[in-house]
Every structure is written in C-alpha cells, then in structure tokens.
Amino acid sequence: MREEDLPCQLRSCVESLGVPLPREVDLPTNLLRAVLERLRALDTVPVEAEEPLPLLWTETGPWTPSV
C-alpha cells in the first residue's frame, strides 16, 4: 500500500463494509501507518509452507491436521 493511498484505502475499507462513519470524524491514518509498519516484521521469518490453520497443542507438539 502506498503512503499517499492510506487515507483513501482506509475510508474505502470502512465504507465498503457498511460502517457509517461521519465525514467530520478523522480517520486513524497514523495508526494504520504505524500498524502496517510494525507488521513488516512478519516478513523477517520465512514461513515454512504452513497453512493458516488453527493452533492447538497436544502432548506431541503443535497439532497439525492431515492435509
């Protein structure tokens, strides 16, 4: 997401999901920017072909459903 697109992107997400935010309310663009920046850390660890499945623990380690 480009920096200059953030306000528009945020407004679009909010409105497309049917949230009636009054126009005079400031959108939390700075918070979105900070969160997306923080989420870059997700890319610092290679994901080992994992599927996005729920995590449950068992006696033998992380539970993996048969796939």
Residues that bind another protein (CB under 8 A): 1, 9-10, 13-14, 17-22, 25, 27-28, 31-32, 34-36, 38-48, 50-57, 59, 61-62, 64
Shortest distance in whole angstroms from residue 65 CB to another protein: 11
Distance CA 20, CA 13 (A): 11
CB 55 within 8 A of CB 43: no
- Cβ 4 to another protein, closest distance in Å? 15
Integer-rounded Cα radius of gyration of the chain: 18
Report in angstroms how near the CB of residue 41 gets to another protein at its nearest: 4
